[in-house]
């Protein structure tokens, strides 16, 4: 290849990457101009008002008993009338070790109920098939290459489908309860149910924020936690948008009205993750999302391998949810475009594979005075860099404030900020290319439908114990930063 041809290719790639970066910043700007609908967690509840009945589902698979105990310790501190909620663990029927652990834990935590999920060949699944048969909103049951297929993939979604419809059938069709669910490692604040009771007066779906408690446990954990700082802790809340933007849900810390979930078909079992699809289905049917600022404390993977395993499922699920389901739900073209914007920030990380190398080349040639680029391209690059500095500066400031939710000492908070410095984050965003590529392949091959679990190691046991000790002597935590 001649030098002139190589130079031309590099110039084209540089200009293309800068235009794509600018477009991605426009998407960021769009999100941050959307209003946020926060739940008023201090709203007065009129004396004598009956609080909504809440069913919390706890899907688990081969979990450590210590991890589950930490979660139950948090649930034991819930500030809510004991006769107005139930907590139901839903392991698979053949997960003997987890069932044994749950039975032992139910002796320690008397509020805990255990509902093993039988195989889909069991007659008790008939309530699910009957509901889907009569409900066109369960479009996966009525059309497509999996219509009427009962052999649902073994994962969290299948467990929740069975448990939800069994409970809804027992309680008269879902009219009188809220459904809440969390992950194996989630530690809700004492006001979690009260926030749900307050928020459901004004919104149809509620989503709690999340924060990682083990963010300093390893460099990988710091990077994984930073993803949540950017997405869960800042950008996601703008999806509420007064009901004007298609929203996803985050897969934990959610509240649905049981009647809505029945009416809209429950959960789709044929995506790697259920979160984006069910949120967009609710939005398409006129339901509004509200945000609960008080976060769930969770743990993030402490190795890069486990983080890639988790994120490749996310990517596969995003692609799956944004294709066939949108057509089945009758999304218009503009609605589809706005739904794809939810994925755009993640997809834009792929720009770095070209943008960073050619950016370094452009900078070096400019410093040496040999740059072949037109003057206006440097102006465009300067604008992008200025936007990036402002955006990341505000993100680091917010991250600094949110670390206070889980780190008591300033030196620990500063240590975390140093670990997620801009240079390291660029490296992490390059690593993100791996789950993006694997997840795309999983989508193309229709993989990721069974539960490839994220390893939980009870990383937050000490933090949860300390936090519960603090909150039990003071008022419930207020709005998170």
98-117 tens-digit pLDDT: 999 999 999 999 999 999 99
Q: Do 177 and 171 contact (CB within 8 A), yes or no?
A: yes
pLDDT in tens, 428-465: 999 999 999 999 999 999 988 887 777 888 899 999 88
DSSP code at position 85: E
Q: Are 314 and 215 in contact (CB under 8 A)?
A: no
The pTM of this model reads 0.92
Among candidate residues 254, 318, 332, 262, the one with its CA nearest the CA of residue 289: 254
Q: How far apart are CA 295 and CA 291, in angstroms?
A: 10
Helix 304-321 and helix 433-444, axial crossing angle in degrees, nearest 10: 40
Q: What is the pLDDT of residue 408?
A: 92
The pLDDT tens digits for 9-32 are 999 999 999 999 999 999 999 999
Predicted local confidence at residue 174, as pLDDT:
67
Please tell me the distance from the alpha carbon of residue 59 to that of residue 453, in angstroms, as a whole number.
11
Q: What is the pLDDT of residues 65-80, one digit of tens each?
A: 999 999 999 999 999 9
Beta strands 177-181 and 53-59, pairing class: parallel
Q: Could you tell me if 54 and 81 are in contact, meaning their C-beta atoms sit under 8 angstroms apart?
A: no
The SS3 call for residue 89 is strand
Residue 4 CA neighbour count, 13 Å, CB half: 0
Q: Are strands 205-212 and 254-257 parallel, antiparallel or unpaired?
A: antiparallel
Q: Nearest 5 degrees, angle CA 328-CA 329-CA 335?
A: 120
Poorest-pLDDT segment among 165-169, 175-179, 474-478: 474-478
Specify the pLDDT at position 479. Answer: 33
Q: Of 3.40.220.10, 3.40.50.280, 3.90.550.10, 3.40.640.10, which CATH number belongs to 13-481?
A: 3.90.550.10
The residues pairing with 90 across neighbouring beta strands, listed in sequence order, are: 59
pLDDT of residue 237 exceeding 90? yes
Average of per-residue pLDDT values in the chain: 93
Confidence bin at 1 (pLDDT 50/70/90): low
Say how far apart CA 473 and CA 431 lie, in whole Å: 43
Q: Where does the pLDDT of residue 47 fall: very low under 50, low under 70, confident under 90, or very high at 90 and above?
A: confident
Reported as type and span, the H/E element at residue 48 is none
Task: Indicate the pLDDT class of residue 477, thresholds 50, 70 and 90.
Answer: very low
- Catalogue the long-range contacts made by 221-225 (C-beta closer than 8 Å, 24 or more residues apart): 221/300, 221/301, 221/302, 221/459, 222/416, 222/419, 222/420, 223/307, 223/420, 223/424, 223/425, 223/428, 223/431, 224/300, 224/301, 224/307, 224/310, 225/300, 225/416
Helical axes 352-368 vs 3-32, angle rounded to 10°: 120
């Amino acid at each position: 290849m001649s030098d002139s041809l190589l130079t031309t290719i590099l110039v084209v790639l540089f200009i293309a990457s800068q235009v794509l970066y600018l477009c991605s910043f426009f998407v960021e700007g769009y999100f941050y101009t959307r209003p946020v609908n926060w739940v008023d967690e201090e709203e007065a509840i009129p004396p004598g008002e009956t609080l909504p009945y809440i069913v919390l589902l706890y899907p688990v698979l081969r979990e450590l008993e210590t991890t589950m105990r930490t979660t139950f310790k948090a649930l034991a501190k819930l500030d809510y009338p004991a006769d107005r909620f139930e907590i139901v663990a839903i392991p698979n029927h053949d997960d003997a070790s987890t069932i044994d652990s749950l039975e032992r834990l139910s002796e320690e935590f008397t509020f805990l109920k255990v509902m093993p999920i039988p195989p889909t060949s069991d007659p008790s699944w008939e309530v699910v098939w009957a509901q889907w048969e009569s409900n066109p909103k369960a479009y996966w049951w009525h059309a497509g290459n999996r219509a009427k297929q009962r052999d649902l993939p073994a994962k969290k979604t299948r467990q929740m489908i069975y448990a939800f419809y069994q409970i809804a059938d027992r309680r008269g069709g879902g009219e009188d309860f809220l459904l809440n669910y969390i992950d194996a490692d989630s530690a809700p604040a004492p006001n979690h149910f009260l926030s749900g009771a307050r928020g459901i007066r004004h919104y149809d779906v509620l989503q709690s924020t999340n924060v990682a408690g083990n963010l300093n446990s390893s460099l990988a954990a710091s990077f994984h936690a930073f993803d949540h700082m950017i997405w869960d802790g800042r950008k996601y809340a703008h999806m509420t948008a007064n009901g004007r933007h298609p929203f996803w849900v985050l897969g934990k810390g959610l509240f649905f009205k049981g009647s809505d979930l029945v009416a809209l078909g429950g959960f789709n079992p044929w995506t790697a993750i259920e979160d984006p699809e069910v949120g967009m289905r609710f939005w398409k049917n006129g339901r509004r999302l509200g945000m609960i600022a008080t976060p769930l404390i969770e743990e993030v993977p402490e190795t890069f391998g486990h983080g890639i395993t988790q994120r490749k499922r996310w990517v596969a699920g995003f692609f799956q949810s944004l294709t066939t389901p949108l057509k089945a739900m009758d999304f218009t073209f503009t609605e589809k475009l706005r739904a794809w914007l939810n994925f755009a920030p993640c997809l834009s990380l792929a720009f770095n594979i070209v943008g960073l190398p050619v950016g370094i080349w452009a900078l070096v040639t400019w410093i040496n005075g040999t740059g072949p680029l037109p003057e206006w391209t440097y102006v465009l690059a300067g604008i992008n860099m200025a936007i990036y500095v402002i955006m990341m500066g505000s993100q680091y400031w917010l991250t600094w404030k949110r670390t206070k939710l889980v780190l008591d000492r300033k030196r620990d908070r500063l240590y975390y900020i140093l670990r997620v410095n801009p240079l390291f984050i660029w490296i992490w965003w390059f690593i993100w290319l791996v789950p993006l590529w694997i997840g795309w392949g999983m989508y193309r091959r229709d993989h990721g439908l069974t539960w490839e679990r994220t390893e939980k190691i009870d990383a937050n046991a000490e933090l949860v114990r300390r936090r519960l000790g603090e909150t039990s002597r003071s008022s419930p935590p207020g709005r998170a930063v």
